[in-house]
Amino acid sequence: MRKYIKSLLLFLLFFYIGVHKTNAQLSLYVKPWISYSSIQPKDLNNTINSTNYMHSQRAATVPGYSYKGKLPEIGAGFDYGGEIVFILNDLLEAGLGFDFITREEKASIQIDNNGTYEEKFRQQISTLPIKLNMYFNFFKPRFSNIKMKLYLTGGLDYHFSNCELSYESIAGTNTDINEKNVDIKADDYGLGFHFGIGNNIKVKSNIYLFLELSYMYYKPSDWEGDYRIIEQDPYNFLKIAGPLVYYKEQCGDDLISRINMFFYVPTDNEEYINPRKAVIDFSHLAIKLGIKLGL
């Protein structure tokens, strides 16, 4: 953790030195925004879809087995962020800001298999990138009395990311079910980048509305955290720390995807097929809408 904090402090120091040396008299703006994006964390969504597939296969092949419910994939949603912008000259601007990107899905599956029971699932992933931005104002079209600035933007991001996965089984009339709670919490930190194109529309002398289309790249694969399981009958409690691992396992004639936590990444064997560190992909295309206010 210390090495990540040191990297972030150096990141911010170089930004400050660069801006300070460029111009001693800087104009400042603040930019809050809301954005809409669709992320596709493939490893996590593969695991979600495998759970749905497993229940559908059991319903098709096991006599008396039925279920209701489905786990949704992680996908689109609204995010927000903000930035302080330093006007260097007519063409160049520098920004220091953040985005907050989070997705959460909760679902339950009701199962009837010689008695009823319920499975509850929760998946939440989030990342907070500290963003170093550069803007290049390359064109100033003007329609009637509307003044605009088209710009290109790009820069580096330092991410603080979190992943929480939970599962709970609740016995109903099926008393053979061993009720249990499983919780996985993991963190990752690292560098990413972004780029985009946008348009500032002047409202007043120091107020702009802006619309931006941007792409962010970030695929963390060094998730570390804790795994906890509590079983009721017989009572059992287990807690381990280690990496988040993605693997396949045999389920009848099919291979299904799993994400779990181990002391270390296991070797490829009959139980764990092609195990590797899990990748939770936050890369996405986003549409941003916001306001730029002069200070």
pLDDT for 232 beyond 90: no
pLDDT for 14 beyond 60: no
Range of weakest confidence among 121-125, 145-149, 197-201, 275-279: 145-149
Q: Specify the higher pLDDT residue, 5 or 181.
A: 181
Separation of alpha carbons 224 and 220, rounded Å: 11
Q: Specify the higher pLDDT residue, 165 or 251.
A: 165
pLDDT for 202 beyond 80: yes
pLDDT for 275 beyond 60: yes
87-133 pLDDT, tens digit each? 998 899 999 999 999 999 999 999 998 888 899 999 999 999 999 99
